[in-house]
Structure 1
Amino acid sequence: MKLVATDLDGTLVRNDRTVGPRTVEVFRRLERAGVVIVLVTGRPIRWIFPVYEQLGVRALAICANGAATYDPSTDTIVHSTPIEAEVLAEVCARLRATVPGVVFAVERDGGRQMRHEPEFPVGPWEADHQSVGPCTYAEMLTRPASKLLVRAGAQLPDEFTARVGACLQGLAEATNSSSSGMVEVSAAGVTKASALDRVARSHALTPADVIAFGDMPNDLPMLTWAGRGVAMANAHPAVRAAAADITSSTNEDEGVAAYLERFYNY
């Protein structure tokens, strides 16, 4: 395989948000060997810098589930496919009419900024972040959004995602990447697979040249697109069922590194 694509949380990154030394060594060897590396994540851009610092590889990052492709060497977004403002307004209107107690947040500019309704719960690590802040519902709809975040109190993740997806069918994409009951909404046709396909084609590569790793439903399009889609041992059941292979160990035990060592005979 000429391109290695990997999700971050639950896949390459351990549960304490660190990247293990075995993983660092394998990815540096891949880079030296000329293998194209792409980080493919639901994370916003503002969350990926600690991974770059630990990994030591200046790979492209597909962020916000495919909405933005970020080049760390130039600190630029090289491709962006946001939800346009008028579509965002329709998405939110449909959800407000259908889902009781729904609240929203938006990631902008690939996730360099986040704006949220005052009632939207924000994690403690974001509460004082200068790029994160509250706004009114009307203000939220004035600009395109890389990703819309949807909550409505305690929800079962898969069931809530299916409900939101049905409401937005033909208008936007709905997925999830955690057990918190938050749904992530992207522009129609925007997934990790669509963005990875674009990057692969820029290197004159096809899906057959790609091995991809993931663990959650937002990884499913990428894993089924890639020539070899690999689920983590700790992956969501639907991801394990759809993947071509499964790692022998979890993200906590650096399962991606162990798999790549065997695959490339390192």
Structure 2
Amino acid sequence: MASPPPRLVATDIDGTLLGDERTISPRTAATLERITAAGTPVVLVTGRPIRWLQLVYDQLTAPLPAICANGAVVYDPVTDEVLRADPLAPELLAEVARRLRAEVPDVSFAVEIVDSRQMRHEAHYPLRWDADTDAIRAIESPEELAAVPAVKLLARADGEQDPDVFVRTVAGALAGLAEATHSSYSGLVEISAAGVTKAAGLAWYCARHGIDERDVLAFGDMPNDVPMLTWAGRAVAVANAHPAVLEIADEVTAANTEDGVAAYLEKVFPSV
């Protein structure tokens, strides 16, 4: 007997929904539009901050709700409202930074603040994306790093870092204090408050809408997706996924560059 269709579709963005040029293909955009128009909600579940969502929304017919900052922020783009936020408190930020500086002396930090609408970074922290926007500013003292709550702390170390090794180092230093994960191969470690993951943010959203995890279909590609994929009733990895994701996924679809999410959804919703 065929399994019933999911009641909600959750998908990571970078490396999963988007191609390597950070674009959504017309096929993928059309598939998402058909599914949502027929009544199945689609939720973006991402490590991205709110301020990076517009690039995605510009490629869709209508914006989709988003769980941002690896589960720390639940965002309604229609009303531009943050429905839920789980930040690291200033005192916790200070302790996390202290432990990591002791463990990794050349570490540098940035914090996502104001529900991830702004970022503050240490002077030597390497910026990769929106370095020239008004929302980004260098801090003037180490104390400023922990001046306000942050939905995510970002950590980099000087030189080439194996991301899997680096995240294990960070997680070991912060055991029981905070969550550490990564979503890229650039050596960036993303730190959230204890218990804050993509799974936790998505679970809160689904509970709010009366949807059980068994009825959720989720797509992902990187270690920060593992909690969500483990929680969801059906977990699908794109073919380009990190080995940790391929290991726990129920199924594997085509790569992000081959419209893997759309190809899978077309089979699940053939009549949409």
- TM-score of the superposition, structure 1-length normalised? 0.98
Say yes or no: does 1:115 pair with 2:120. yes
Identify the residue that residue 232 of structure 2 maps to in structure 1: 226
Say yes or no: does 1:189 pair with 2:190. no
Residue 57 of structure 1 and its aligned partner are, at CA, apart by: 2.9
Say yes or no: does 1:200 pair with 2:206. yes
Matched residues in 2 for 1:50 and 1:128: separation?
16
Identify the residue that residue 77 of structure 1 maps to in structure 2: 82
Residue 32 of structure 1 and its aligned partner are, at CA, apart by: 0.9
The alignment partner of 1:74 has SS state of coil
Matches within 5 A, 1:20-39: 20-39=25-44
Matches within 5 A, 1:1-266: 1-123=6-128, 125-135=129-139, 136-153=141-158, 154-247=160-253, 249-266=254-271
The alignment partner of 2:133 has SS state of coil
The alignment partner of 2:93 has SS state of helix
Matched residues in 2 for 1:257 and 1:58: separation?
17
Root mean square deviation of aligned Cα:
0.8
Is the Cα contact below 8 Å between 1:63 and 1:110 reproduced in 2?
A: no
Letter in 2 for 1:171: L
Residue 59 of structure 1 and its aligned partner are, at CA, apart by: 1.9
Residue 58 of structure 1 and its aligned partner are, at CA, apart by: 2.6
Letter in 2 for 1:61: A
Letter in 2 for 1:127: A
Matched residues in 1 for 2:204 and 2:131: separation?
34
Letter in 2 for 1:15: D
Is the Cα contact below 8 Å between 1:108 and 1:145 reproduced in 2?
A: yes
Residue 55 of structure 1 and its aligned partner are, at CA, apart by: 1.6
The alignment partner of 1:78 has SS state of strand
Letter in 2 for 1:201: A
Residue 118 of structure 1 and its aligned partner are, at CA, apart by: 0.1
Is the Cα contact below 8 Å between 1:147 and 1:185 reproduced in 2?
A: yes
Residue 127 of structure 1 and its aligned partner are, at CA, apart by: 1.9
The alignment partner of 1:139 has SS state of helix
Matched residues in 1 for 2:204 and 2:64: separation?
15
Residue 12 of structure 1 and its aligned partner are, at CA, apart by: 0.3
The alignment partner of 2:58 has SS state of helix
Question: CA offsets, 1:132-160, max 9 Å, x none?
Answer: 01002111111011100001122100010
Letter in 2 for 1:253: E
Identify the residue that residue 3 of structure 2 maps to in structure 1: none
Letter in 1 for 2:136: V
Residue 237 of structure 1 and its aligned partner are, at CA, apart by: 0.6
Where do 5+ consecutive residues of structure 1 fail to align? none
Give every structure 1 segment of 4 or more consecutive aligned residues whose post-TM-superposition deviation is greater than 4 Å: none
Matched residues in 2 for 1:132 and 1:82: separation?
18
Matched residues in 1 for 2:37 and 2:187: separation?
40
Identity in percent: 54
Matched residues in 1 for 2:161 and 2:177: separation?
22
